[in-house]
Amino acid sequence: MGQHRFLLYNPRFARARSPGLKHALTLAAACLACALAAAGPAMGSVEPKVVRMAFRTAEAGFDPQRIFDRYSVGVCENLFEPLLTYDYLARPVRLVPLTAEAVPQPEEGGTRYTFRIRPGILFADDPAFKGQKRELVAKDIEYSIKRFRDPRNASPYEWLFEHKVLGLDEFAAAAKKAGRPDYDAKVAGLEVRDRYTISIKLTEPDFNFLYVLAMPNVVPVAREVIEAYGEDTMAHPVGTGPFVLKEWVRRSKIVLERNPNHRGYELDPRWADPADEFDRAAVDALRGKRLPLVDRVEIYPIEEEQPRFLAFVNREHDLLDETPSDFIEQVLPNGRLAPSLARQGVAVFREEAPEITYDVFNVEDAVVGGYGPEKVALRRALVLAHDRGQEIFIVRKGQAMAAQSPLPPGIVGYDPAFRTTQQDHDPARAKALLDLYGYVDRNGDGWRDQPDGRPLAIEYKYNAGSQSNRQLAELWVKSAAAIGVRMEAAAVQFIDLLNDKRVGKFQMAGSAWTADYPDAQNFLQLLYGPNTGQSNEARFRLDAFDRLYRQSVAVPDGPARNALYHEMNRLILAYAPWRLGVHRVFNHLQYPWVKGYKKHPILYTNFKYLDVDVAARKAAAR
């Protein structure tokens, strides 16, 4: 952005009585105005392009190796750049190079992947670089992968590289023993061949490994930046991405501005669908332009659904990500865009999201946990008691479909023909199961007790701030009461809830997972035993499941791997560490002055592909 220049008011001059001086000042001001007009945009006369929107909940911070929530990752997606990414318009999704020169082919039977980084890619300026421009190099990739295994970071995504890269487990073990890692130590599986080339050697074949290297938090960071900011790296993200963090008021406001060091992108229209209106509009708006086009992005975390919705309706925001279900009838009455919005040119993008909601049991909890028949029976009875039909049609206003397995549509490994009755709403079966295993009312107070006679009471934690989440929690309490089980709901702030689940400080809790990459492995790893304390919130540890999971990782996509997935799903249904929820349908709204918008199934925000018609926005305001 160009710098703005202003003629400043000086009270000393205002007191001058000389008409000649007054005339001279007037003439000078007029000349300056003409000069600015003639200079045009280079002098800063063009109004900056700003996108304003809300997040549904608050962020945690912006250290990519330490974050674990969707919204923090969504910001990092614009500040950092992985080796690979996804084409913006291609459906089904397609991997393309970003900081790498090409998408590599697997070598040595799927155990080696070699990348060459594009020369000349610069990090954003930061005091840690002591006034020098800092180029991205292969050692930054090596350093950043090691950070996932640094015990001090307790990375929630450590599982991506645990038991995966040759020698990296030993690096982590040595770091744990010493109390700090030796980042200069050689790791056999991270081979830096020259300034721009890194070759990664895996312990076993993994045909999904390229997806991992396209994740928005598997990105290079600069070692000197991390060391300079110590424990405050969440507030000092420095990457090679198209934007920089300009302002951060925690849980209140996030401001991004264009990175002046960024080399720029161009939209690749090769895989656009000419029959898709959003593809056509994006190509028309962006073809041949150097991206990003937006100067500034303002993000406001607003957990309450009504103020978030009203901020869009009142044109305070340009985009509404995931229209709250409580307002669906106002936005899409009878499935059609409301006339009041249509007259304003508002567009709606309907997305069957590659995600799943689920209610997770803490399998280590003394009441709802365990693998014995009576413990499994309690979880299965609660699953049968829960009225998912009410969830879909009353709470979610029909904007969801019941999950039959952990795998959502559009994900490799999803079986559209699979159906199960084990998660149906059936209170009679639930009561019979509890009776059979001794969960009966022993003291006549109307509530069932545990088989050993102790009271049976369960706490359900949920994300506070959302009316729909409160309704979902109330539905659980009501469903449990219908079979004689006492349950209480506890509202917890989103970030606190994530932390509670991560450390096992809960009995039951609501949860959701959106695809990091488009393969079943990304969802089934949520119940893989070694991922406990990271992504495995249920703390589920079943040898049979873990064995099948490890087998599936080494098998390429096809019938053999799908058979493994089917067996893993059977074990999930049998042991019930989750109550499978729904696959949600989201409706994203945008005003007509926002150009180039198309929601990507995997990537979150894609601000670099947006443009703003400032004149159209101002005309609408008038």
Q: Can you give the pLDDT at residue 179?
A: 94
Burial of 44 (0-12, 13-18, 19+ CB in 10 A): middle
337: pLDDT strictly greater than 90: yes
Partner residues linked to 73 by β-bridges: none
14: pLDDT strictly greater than 90: no
8 band by pLDDT with thresholds 50, 70 and 90: very low
pLDDT tens-digit readout, 499-525: 999 999 999 999 999 999 999 999 999
Helix 373-385 crosses helix 427-436 at what angle (to 10 degrees)? 160
465 band by pLDDT with thresholds 50, 70 and 90: confident
Q: Can you give the pLDDT at residue 45?
A: 56
Mean local confidence (pLDDT), 418-446? 96
What torsion, rounded to 10 degrees, do the Cα atoms 277, 279, 280, 281 define?
A: 80
From CA 468, how far away is CA 554, in angstroms rounded? 40
Mean pLDDT of the chain: 92
Query: For 2, which DSSP code?
Result: P
pLDDT tens-digit readout, 566-616: 999 999 999 999 999 999 999 999 999 999 999 999 999 999 999 999 999
Q: Can you give the pLDDT at residue 7?
A: 29
Mean local confidence (pLDDT), 469-490? 97
487 band by pLDDT with thresholds 50, 70 and 90: very high
Mean local confidence (pLDDT), 39-45? 42
From CA 468, how far away is CA 321, in angstroms rounded? 16
- Please give the structure tokens belonging to residue 110: 């799927």
Nearest one of 341, 340, 308, 330 to 53, comparing CA atoms: 308
311: pLDDT strictly greater than 80: yes
pLDDT tens-digit readout, 109-162: 999 999 999 999 999 999 999 999 999 999 999 999 999 999 999 999 999 999
5: pLDDT strictly greater than 50: no
Mean local confidence (pLDDT), 4-27? 34
**How much is the pTM?**
0.87
Nearest one of 536, 539, 566, 537 to 552, comparing CA atoms: 566
Q: What is the b/e burial string over 361-386, where b = at least 16 CB atoms within 10 angstroms of the residue's CB?
A: bbbebebbbbeeebbbbbbbbbbbbb
Q: Can you give the pLDDT at residue 38?
A: 36
395: pLDDT strictly greater than 50: yes
Q: Can you give the pLDDT at residue 621?
A: 87
Q: What are phi and psi of 436, to 5 degrees?
A: -60, -35
